[in-house]
Amino acid sequence: MNQTASLTEHPERKKLQPYKQNRWKKNFWGYMFLVPALAIFIMFMWVPIFKGLLYSFYHVDFVKGNTFVGFENYARALSDPDVWTAVKNTLYYMSLCLVIGFWVPIAFAIAISELRKFGGVVRVAAYLPFVIPGVVLYGLWRWLYDPVGPINALLGWVGVDQISFLTDTRWSMISLVIMETWQQFGSGMLIYLAAVLSIPRDWYEAAEIDGAGVWARIRYITLPSLRSLIILMLILQIIGTSQGYQSQMALLDGGPNNTTLTYALLMVKYAFTRLDYGTATALGMLMFIVLGGLGIAQFKLSKEDN
């Protein structure tokens, strides 16, 4: 009896144990490799995100402790006239970035792809402003835009009246957008250029034989080939510009007369100037609700692209 029992039990145990061990061993390192990243993503991304949701209902006070205030922060944010000015300014900023900045890299990518010589030099030159640090950009452009700076010197030379680029309320935002376009178009241009150069040359050959002119070739071959990239870049630009605040803050601090006060800048000011972290996180949550949809659209598009 005893013997048979041990005989029936023993092989089973032998079978089970190595299997369990193997499975644990097999996946042990896989999990170990994931653990640090999981911990850090939770600690420095998900915790802040959930704290953001939580604190938007709290009055945050580092000394006395936080108190629950319900929807008070949201009410304060939505009744602040500055918030609506900021939303308007942000929309204005976004549309200026589209009108002034969006088409520039596409146009230059197509033009530069046609250069027979010096293409490399032109590429390097176009990208160079993107390399210089933001603080240098601000210092430099403050001087360029100065009433007695080089741009006004050029305007005077062609016979146009002086423009106070930064202090004139009509020009302040436009000046910032021109500055940012100057700095950033090179990187967009390189992305488009890679796509333009990947279009098979034979298509142009075939189109030309069929009698398509130069513009027709751009209109019916080049641009349609760039279509999905253009849409992706458009969404990326909208996501980026809707959160813009750094150059507005660095050069003008939202002025003159709140004309460059963007939504993100107002949020930052609520937090770090007025030290009202609760309202600032509420503003952040509202931003997240509006922009979350765009993020999903971008993800879907870039997946299709791949």
Minimum CB separation from another protein for residue 302, in Å?
4
Q: Is 49 in the site for another protein (CB under 8 A)?
A: yes
Give the residue with the Cβ less far from another protein, 7 or 63. 63
Minimum CB separation from another protein for residue 85, in Å?
18
Tokens for 40, please give them.
């850090």
Tokens for 212, please give them.
């398509």
Q: What are phi and psi of 68, to 5 degrees?
A: -75, 130
Minimum CB separation from another protein for residue 268, in Å?
8
Q: Which stretch, 5-13, 69-77, 84-92, 277-285, contacts another protein (CB under 8 A)? A: 277-285
Give the end-to-end CA distance of the chain in Å, rounded to a whole number: 66
Query: Scanning residues 215 to 274, which ones bind another protein (CB under 8 A)?
Result: 217-218, 221-222, 229, 232-233, 236, 239, 242-243, 245-246, 249-250, 264, 267-268, 271-272
Give the residue with the Cβ less far from another protein, 16 or 275. 275
Residues 269, 80: contact at Cβ < 8 Å? no
Q: Which stretch, 76-84, 92-100, 123-131, 166-174, contacts another protein (CB under 8 A)? A: 123-131
Out of 149, 174, 231, 234, name the contact with another protein by CB under 8 A: 149
Pairing assessment for the beta strands 67-68 and 58-59 based on DSSP bridges? antiparallel
Q: What are phi and psi of 58, to 5 degrees?
A: -125, 155
Q: Is 105 in the site for another protein (CB under 8 A)?
A: no
Out of 24, 31, 84, 103, name the contact with another protein by CB under 8 A: 31
**Number of residues that make up the chain:** 306
Query: Scanning residues 64 to 103, which ones bind another protein (CB under 8 A)?
Result: none
The DSSP secondary-structure symbol of 250 reads: I
Instruction: Rounding to the nearest 10 degrees, give the CA dihedral for residues 295, 297, 303, 304.
Output: -160
* Residue whose token pair is 């010589």: 117
Q: Which stretch, 11-19, 68-76, 85-93, 204-212, contacts another protein (CB under 8 A)? A: 204-212
Q: Is 121 exposed, middle or buried (0-12, 13-18, 19+ CB in 10 A)?
A: exposed
Q: Is 208 in the site for another protein (CB under 8 A)?
A: yes
